[in-house]
Amino acid sequence: MRRVAITGVGLVTPAGLGRESTWKRVLSGKSTATRISYFDPEPYRTHIACEVRGFDGERYFAKRDLKHTDKFVQYAVASTVEALADAGFEDGKIPPATAEMWAVYFGSGMGGLKRIEDTHRTLLEKGPRRISPYFVPDSIINMAAGIISMRFGLKGPSLSHVSACATGAHSIGEAVRLIERGDADAAIAGGTDADITPIGIGGFAAMRAMSMRNEEPERASRPFDKERDGFVMGEGAGALVLEELEAAKARGATIYAEVAGYAATSDAHHITTPSPDGDGAIRCMTKALKDAGVSASELSYVNAHGTSTMANDKTESIAIRKALGSFADSVPVSSTKAVTGHMLGAAGAVEIALCALAIRDQVVPPTGNHESPGEGCDLDYIPKEARQMKVVSTMSNSFGFGGTNATVVLRNL
């Protein structure tokens, strides 16, 4: 099969409005969590989140269009603009002759949640005749991919994968498969979510899944730490430009890394809780490494799903140890969610992008707030400070509700 390269990266995250600002903050290990500003969080169990600050939608949309464009779509478009420019396509101009072979695989975990909330309020207060005709297209998940394909004239397959917190990783992995088998030559792939809303926060808080460290938001997201008490919600988007390797070389593109391996599995265990033995995650990592032709001894770094929840962190640690065997103690692991919070459907795409940057700069990010390992968490979590080291290959894990798993392996060229 054909090989696939990452040639462009675009990020909109709580850590920064762009690739380099996000990367700098992630390497610092400093959390972005603060008290929620979008609405009054006082009645809720959780008062904190990692919000995207300073984002200006008018940089990407006309004012009239912003009124009916949910933030999850705005973030997706903004990250794509940066990724295309980074790949050398200034102003997002794709040659028309190649447009039919460009795909858009851009997913979301929950789509236009705020638009749904706002429209429901309008229905109750003003009646059905006041519902906007833009409501449906503004809130459906595939509109992120749809708007991107329209904005840049990309006429290949346009799909939005929906697999909860594994969405971004599945979107990238499946786009890679598309290029490998020749159904596309290039793709915009990624994930986006904007769910810091009353019902979003209320729903996850009702599950007791979120941190309640409301008085110390900057210390709340602490993956693999014994004091962790739940995840902190984030938002934003991550976009990658993926190209067939030889074509990317031929046009002189700067290549971050090769997407060498990908796998997807299911736990078949529980709607929210991972299988305690880590079976689904183990199989996912093992398959992805085999697909990449990378052995555990050759793996440089693991960007863990690392949500800062009791069940996930322990189970993932067990799974990484079993998947890597005797090499588990020599492969550093970190969770960048300590900085960004859990960006839900965007998380996997952002974290794969961070792996590409780790390969570029030969440095791996720390696990912020990690002080003392929790029970069952016995790996090298790169506590607090980034680590300069030789980075040849990376592995990124993403696990979602419904027991769905995705692992992507990158390799330096």
Question: Per residue in 179-205, is it b (16+ CB within 10 Å) or e — as a string?
Answer: bbeeebbbbbbbbbbbbbbbebbeebb
CA distance 383 to 375: 16
Burial class of residue 256 in the structure, from the number of CB atoms within 10 Å of its CB (0-12 exposed, 13-18 middle, 19+ buried): buried
Question: Of 47, 161, 170, 305, which residue is the catalytic one?
Answer: 305
* C-alpha to C-alpha distance for 410 and 243, rounded to whole angstroms: 14
Of 1, 38, 12, give the one whose Cα is nearest residue 353: 12
Catalytic residue chosen out of the listed positions 47, 50, 165, 355: 165
What distance lies between CA 137 and its chain's CA centroid? 23
What is the C-alpha separation between 332 and 365, in angstroms, rounded? 10
| Residue 50 among the catalytic residues | no
Residues pairing with 104 in the sheet: 158, 188
Rounded CA gap, 59 and 78, in Å? 8
C-beta neighbour count of 66 within 10 angstroms: 15
Contact at 8 Å (CB) between 411 and 294? yes
Q: How far is CA 239 from CA 178, 234, 249, in A?
A: 17, 16, 20
Paired sense of beta strands 393-400 and 404-411, if any: antiparallel
The tokens for 225 are 């730490």
Closest alpha carbon to 222 in 348, 301, 310: 310
Compute CA distances 199 → 51, 212, 303, 308, whole Å: 16, 17, 29, 21
Length of the chain: 413
Residue 232's SS3 state is coil
The gap from C-alpha 173 to its chain's centroid, in whole angstroms, comes to 12
User: Of these residues, 342, 355, 370, 377, which one is catalytic?
Assistant: 342
Structure tokens at 234: 């984030």
Which segments of 29-166 does DSSP mark as H helices, in order? 63-66, 71-86, 113-126, 135-139, 143-152
Query: End-to-end alpha-carbon separation of the chain, Å?
Result: 17
- Bridge-partner residues for 238, per DSSP? 11, 191
Place of tokens 């029970």: 375
**Pairwise CA distance, residues 213 & 275, whole Å:** 27
Please give the DSSP secondary-structure letter assigned to residue 210: B
Does 165 qualify as catalytic in the annotation? yes
Q: Which residues are catalytic?
A: 165, 305, 342
